Chains A and B, each alone.
Chain A
């Protein structure tokens, strides 16, 4: 579409007499106002988190700010020049209508496990052997596509030795999972040795809680 100015230019240059030009000019005299910015009206709605807790959000722009701290309450902002509205309750049916599809696409939170080992060994403690079965079930039930397996040690021994020990621990756990049917390609094995202690200690300290493999099922 031609803007008013371009019409005017055409008109001025045209050989058609001034009368037509004037007529057109009259319609050009009040050019359309510049397109107003797209409103981008935004609605911000608070709902309980998966543990049932309700946090809070603060909605702010240059004209004001609103805190939303009750579940199923929303603040709406009409434009950058309008202050956020005070929170008001949105009906359940309305929430489902607007956000239902999006909520259904929400992924599960990653599941995390810690398996513990015997001193200077890649052998699992009895409790952790039991837990390993649950790790396997979680991977299977979720159809997990990425599992991180990170080995750790306490600070007894040299750093190099501990890097190798924690690598053996991580590989052992990976082997056990593969044995149960987990695809090796989804396992991401790392060794942190004694560099990432769960319980901070000095060097050369026996600490069972540091002898571990951490597993994250994404």
Chain B
């Protein structure tokens, strides 16, 4: 009988570890459209945005002068970038069963089209787009943003 609590602790540890591993690499979406120079920066690494590339929370998406990129997130949110654009998918949580929902996109420059997905439908204040000069709260919507650099 004394083995039971030890077993329980061990199992919890294993679950926590598995959770950490899953959390570190679980994709939040993927690249669906890419044209010209388009990259995804993940930490120190810069990857070419090839079709089907999985995205992770924290990824920075960039396009060059002739570049464009379209991505779909796991909750059906769709984002596309025009040329000379940069956004970061700063925060993404889509666990409706646990009531955990959130999406924060930080936009540094360029042009973006945004079609909200399930997170915006399920939770009123869970989706936010931030530019250097303002924050946008999103309610079930298709909208466009332009951030000028000059």
Contacts and interface: CB of A to CB of B under 8 A. Distances in A.
The bracket for how many chain A residues form the interface is 35 or more
A53 interface: yes
B139 A57 contact: yes
B131 A47 contact: no
Contact of B140 (A49, A84, A95): A49
Interface string A10-38: 00000000000000000000000000001
A58 interface: yes
Given A105-B69, A218-B72, A46 B142 contact: yes
A181 interface: no
Interface residues of B, number: 45
Given A42-B133, A106-B80, A218-B72, A146 B143 contact: no
Given A55-B141, A56-B139, A43 B149 contact: no
Contact of A106 (B30, B115, B120, B150): B115
Contact of A99 (B35, B82, B135): B82
A110 B72 contact: yes
Contacts of B30: 145-146, 218
Nearest to A52: B142
A202 interface: no
Contact of B143 (A45, A79, A80): A45
Given A42-B148, A105-B69, A59 B139 contact: no
Given A59-B136, A80-B134, A145-B51, A40 B148 contact: yes
B19 interface: no
B80 A42 contact: no
Given A40-B133, A41-B133, A102-B68, A57 B143 contact: yes
A45 B80 CA distance: 15
B91 interface: no
A56 B127 CA distance: 12
B104 to A, nearest CB: 14
Interface in B84-113: 85, 109, 111-113
A56 B137 CA distance: 9
Given A42-B134, A145-B52, A102 B139 contact: no
A168 B93 CA distance: 30
B116 interface: yes
Contacts of B60: none
Interface of B: 30, 32-33, 35, 51-52, 68-72, 76, 78, 80-83, 85, 109, 111-113, 115-116, 120, 131-150
22 contacts: A39-B148, A40-B132, A40-B148, A41-B147, A42-B145, A42-B146, A43-B146, A44-B145, A55-B139, A57-B139, A61-B135, A79-B133, A101-B82, A102-B80, A105-B68, A105-B82, A106-B33, A107-B33, A107-B71, A109-B76, A109-B115, A146-B30
Interface of A: 38-50, 53-61, 68, 77-80, 82, 84, 95, 98-99, 101-110, 145-146, 218
